[in-house]
């Protein structure tokens, strides 16, 4: 695909200079975008603190695989987001107002976040006017690249490897958006330690949820705020652990999605931040004796045979999904 040179004419990005060739990495408007392939070294972890770097004392860096290190000279004010995780992180870091898009239905996603924020004084997410990126149907994901040009975001808070897997996208398309709009910064395959597209595998790393949080915080220069939030999380985990019943008395837990009369189970003991809410508590997995894959599907009778004590339903809080009706 040949880039349209006119897209840069007269924009804030006329003076941007890019260094390196790491696909999926880049810089903000007006930043000098030196990039390095992530190595998992201590240097990368250090840059996650939002440390200074580059030619100017006002610049700072953040790093995350697979994009490597990105150098900023301004905090992003317009941010394109695909996953609710990154919208939630932006809100937690005090930058929810910068979010201009979500991957799926903005009302559904916004209502999902609102369901939690309603119990937090002073926390909200205004999803009015948020752009929906995915226009696909029937299980396919389709994101029009023109939407990203129209949004003209300072930062794409999304995994470039994920976008490269979408219908009609490849690594070159991701690189073009980086060069002509703004950088990518995200990591989605850590959710279940799934394999990213082949072009990204050599430079991909898997992170815990706090590790992702600290890196996003660095991009917003909010490392202290994230550290305070993470301390609350650690304290909550320890509080819960201190009051857990003995392992042999804990209820079995089934994590699943219920849709159109079919249950799609997943394991709670597998790696990835998808299980970050249960892993610290050694939850007995109701599906531990089953061979669960992404394609595994159960009917009512099979779930009755498993007979879990507790069912944790994923993705259940949204405007298009009536959890109460499913429970009945």
Q: What is the pLDDT of residues 95-142, one digit of tens each?
A: 999 999 999 887 778 888 888 899 999 999 998 899 999 998 766 799
Does residue 138 share a domain with residue 195?
Answer: yes
pLDDT digits over 278-304, tens only? Answer: 999 999 999 998 999 889 999 999 999
Whether 171 is covered by a domain: the verdict is yes
| Ramachandran angles phi, psi of 151, nearest 5° | -70, -30
Same-domain check for residues 195 and 146: yes
| CATH number of the structural domain spanning residue 273 | 3.40.50
ω before 66 within 30° of 0 (cis)? yes
Q: Kindly state whether residues 13 and 131 are assigned to the same domain.
A: yes
Say if 293 falls within a structural domain.
Answer: yes
Bridge partners, 254 (sequence order): 311
Question: How many domains does the chain divide into?
Answer: 2
**Report for 17-26, 51-60, 131-140: range of highest mean pLDDT:** 131-140
Do 287 and 214 belong to one domain?
A: no
Give domain status of residue 237, yes or no. no
**In this structure, are 132 and 219 located in the same domain?**
yes
295 and 220 assigned to the same domain: no
- Are 63 and 166 members of one domain? yes
239 located within any domain:
no
Give percent of the chain with pLDDT exceeding 70.
78
Residue 30 CB-half CA count within 13 A: 11
Is residue 124 situated within a structural domain? yes
Which one of 229, 261, 288 terminates a domain?
229
Domain ranges, residue 253? 247-327
What whole-number distance in Å separates Cα of residue 164 and Cα of residue 12? Answer: 26
Evaluate whether residue 235 is within a structural domain: no
d(CA 33, CA 20): 8
* Averaged pLDDT score across all residues of the chain: 83
């Amino acid at each position: 695909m040949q880039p349209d040179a006119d897209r840069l004419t007269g924009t804030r990005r006329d003076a941007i200079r890019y260094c390196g060739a790491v696909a999926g990495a880049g810089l903000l408007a007006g930043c000098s975008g030196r990039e390095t392939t992530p190595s998992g070294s201590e240097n990368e972890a250090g840059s996650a603190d939002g440390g200074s770097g580059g030619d100017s004392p006002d610049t700072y860096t953040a790093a995350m695989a697979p994009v490597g290190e990105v150098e900023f000279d301004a905090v992003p004010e317009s941010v394109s987001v695909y996953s609710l995780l990154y919208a939630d992180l932006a809100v937690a870091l005090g930058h929810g107002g910068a979010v201009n898009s979500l991957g799926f239905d903005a009302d559904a996603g916004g209502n999902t976040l609102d369901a939690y924020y309603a119990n937090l004084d002073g926390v909200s997410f205004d999803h009015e006017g948020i752009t929906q990126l995915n226009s696909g149907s029937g299980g396919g994901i389709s994101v029009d690249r023109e939407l990203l040009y129209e949004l003209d975001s300072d930062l794409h808070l999304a995994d470039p490897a994920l976008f490269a897997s979408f219908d009609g996208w490849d690594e070159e398309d991701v690189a073009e958006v980086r060069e002509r709009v703004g950088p990518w910064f995200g990591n989605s395959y850590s959710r279940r330690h799934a394999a990213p597209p082949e072009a990204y595998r050599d430079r991909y790393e898997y992170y815990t949820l706090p590790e992702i949080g600290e890196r996003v915080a660095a991009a917003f220069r909010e490392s202290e705020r994230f550290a305070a939030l993470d301390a609350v999380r650690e304290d909550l985990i320890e509080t819960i652990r201190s009051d857990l019943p003995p392992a042999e008395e804990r209820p079995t837990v089934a994590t699943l999605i219920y849709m159109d009369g079919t249950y799609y189970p997943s394991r709670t003991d597998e790696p990835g931040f998808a299980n970050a809410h249960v892993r610290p508590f050694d939850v007995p997995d109701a599906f531990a004796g089953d061979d669960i894959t992404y394609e595994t599907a159960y009917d009512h009778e099979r779930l009755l045979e498993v007979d879990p004590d507790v069912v944790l339903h994923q993705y259940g809080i949204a405007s298009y999904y009536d959890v109460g009706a499913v429970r009945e």
